Amino acid sequence: MKRIPIDPSNKFARQLKAALASGQQLLVDGIAIDLPTKSKPNWRLKARINRQTKELSGGKTFSSVNAAFIELRLELFNSTAGAGNKPEHCSTLLSVVIRQYIDQGGIDFIWKDKTRKDREDDFRHLILRANRMKMRCQELTENELREFLKEATGSSKRAKHIKGVLKTFMAWGRKSGYFTSNQLNMIDSVSWNPPSGSGYRTPPTRREQSRIYFANDESQGGEIPTHDQVCALADGLQKRYKHGAALIHASANLGTRANETFIFTVSREVFERGLGNYVDLKNWVVRVHWQQSEKPTEKSKTTKNGKRRGVFIPDVGVIATGFNLREWLVTRSAEALAEQVAGKNPLALLFPNKNFDPLKINSLSYSHLRKVSGELGWKMPGWIDAKKIERYMYRFTLHAMRDRYGTTAADEWGYTERQLLEQGSWSDPQTVRKFYLGTSDGTAQSVKDLHQAMVEGQHPYKKGA
């Protein structure tokens, strides 16, 4: 299997640079690192393992050297047999093992900088606790895990996330000789509980809060946006992002997931390489075969549920907001191709960020969508977590435009269940009914309008039928 390059720590990079400057062999953690030469242009790494010399090629870059170093160091650690049926490295300091796990990029050596920072935040309280107590891997008990969860978070949702991250780490640690199987199984036996007297209650979901906080005398508040609310969000986002209005209207009328929409391309060649979803203006469909992937080694990743589909682009005549999606796509496609020719937009993306790379949902939400939602009065009342910190949710997210699409397609466009499942790439009818055919602020009024249409003979109602 080809080794994946891993960016070295600042300290290790400085050591490699110093070795190059001095021309001397570098020795780190029992591993000898030889510099490249004219006859041998790759770095070479050597270590004595089980009375034999193990040698690896470190490639030509610091990142490839670091990847080989991590691999050889792990093999060197694992070469020492443990005693008494204990893992061979169970006496290693826990904080050192966590640091190694983060630095190497997780179990598959692929984390980007953002993921490393996220995991540092997830493990921060465990690292602090382990350092404070000089805890070794074998000393990690159920009680220590409970105390860690108590310190790390003030909400059940966050605790669930941290437990998942912790289990992945300990599964790697068991295979690498740091933890026992019993320690790995401990995670399932540990639960997070709010401090006594905190008064913590699990907060309602975004949908539940929407119904609670936006209710009126006639009905509960809707959990999906109305067409007017789609327009309001589109207008607000347009002020902050060049293609903001089109992004919202496209999401509401195509129903594609954000990580599918962000890689819309007008280049068939990019599409065939698995780097974008092709906007086919000749047939008025978007060929949605791919979604964004966090793994740098993956050029393509199939859509959720593995469904490849051609999503039909509706005519403005059936788009309730009046946004001419086809016209915008024609104009923007020509711009994207021109940007590609000029070397600015290599993937011919329709919704690129300022650097002409694919948008990311988190950055879009933090920098733009939350501000727009606040201005529109969609920031819902805060709730207090177990640490007395106030948290907030917002009435609608970008994914709520998918809610709007499902309801529009079912109620206004008359899609059959089969058509809806195919176009929206949902897994089953139950999922659609549960999440995407909800109420909006206009649902109660639509009942009144329906009855008035029957009275006026504008509805195919038959008495006695």
- Work out the mean pLDDT of the chain and round it to a whole number: 90
Q: What is the per-residue pLDDT across 136-167, written as a single tens digit (0 to 9) for each?
A: 999 999 999 999 999 999 999 899 999 999 99
Give CA–CA dist 124/166, Å, rounded: 12
* The pLDDT of residue 61 is above 60: yes
Q: Which long-range contacts (CB under 8 A, 24 or more apart) does 292-300 make?
A: 292/259, 292/260, 292/262, 292/263, 292/358, 292/360, 294/112, 294/115, 295/108, 295/110, 296/110, 296/112, 297/4, 297/110, 299/273, 299/274, 299/275, 300/273, 300/274, 300/275
Token pair in block for residue 420: 């809806």
Three-state SS for 53? Answer: strand
For the stretch 302-333, pLDDT in tens is 888 788 999 999 999 999 999 999 999 999 99
- Mean pLDDT, range 352-365, rounded to an integer: 92
* 354 CB-near residues (< 8 Å, 6+ apart): none
Instruction: Report pLDDT digits (tens) over 29-58.
Output: 889 999 999 999 999 999 987 678 889 999
Cα–Cα distance measured from residue 260 to residue 350, given in angstroms and rounded to the nearest whole number? 12
Is the entire prediction scored with pTM above 0.75? no
Within the chain, how many helices (H) and strands (E) appear?
19, 10
